[in-house]
Amino acid sequence: MAVPKPRLTRTDWITAALTALAEGGVSAVAVDPLAKRLDVTRGSFYWHFKSRDDLLLSALEWWEQEGTASVIDRVGHLTDPWERLRALFHIALTEDPTDGLEPALVAHADDPLVAPALHRVTARRLDFLTVAYTDAGLPPDRARVQAVVTYSAYIGWTELRRAAPTVATETVDDPAALEYLIESLVQGGQDKQDKSS
């Protein structure tokens, strides 16, 4: 007697969509290839979602919540701003549940479904970084510039890790390089604070 397959959940489809997006961009989030990947029929998809756009928006909402809001919640209670920044950078750089997703989303910044989520996430992350650097003693205008520089370094690191892992091996699995990056981002803010004092 054949054992029936367990019914896929909405989260299973979202996870598959995020993986496809990271691997192949927005166009890879398509019902038939995802159903094939999950070894189910299209009917399973329509049980959970109205359309492909509904799935993509749900995946983007998940990314916004898990990749930003929950991370901020995890470090927001830390009172020492430098420790808050270190914890934030460590989580952001080591706990990527869908490797390659961030660069894929940035690459599709002009997509009408991706753009609003990408803008909200970028604004929230930059605001959080600006507050952290301000709490650490930087003047607000310098804190904002440091936030932009820091976020740019993060985006660059994740893109390099995705695009050229055999060339930039330090971005893949090098704890010393990761620690150096984190401390550089933290120290960059501390150096600027010291010079402005």
Chunked into runs of 10 residues, the chain (197 residues) has average pLDDT values of 69 95 94 94 91 97 94 95 94 85 93 97 97 95 96 93 92 92 84 52
Q: What pLDDT, on a 0 to 100 scale, did the predictor assign at position 6? A: 65
Q: What pLDDT, on a 0 to 100 scale, did the predictor assign at position 109? A: 94
SS3 8: coil
Task: Tell me how far CA of residue 32 lies from CA of 15, 27, 50, 52, in angstroms.
Answer: 15, 12, 14, 10
Q: What domains sit in the chain, N to C, each tagged with a CATH number?
A: 10-196 (1.10.357.10)
pTM of the model: 0.88
128, exposed or middle or buried, with CB in 10 Å at 0-12, 13-18, 19+? buried
Q: What pLDDT, on a 0 to 100 scale, did the predictor assign at position 162? A: 87
Instruction: Quote the CA–CA distance of 177 and 180 in Å, as a whole number.
Output: 5
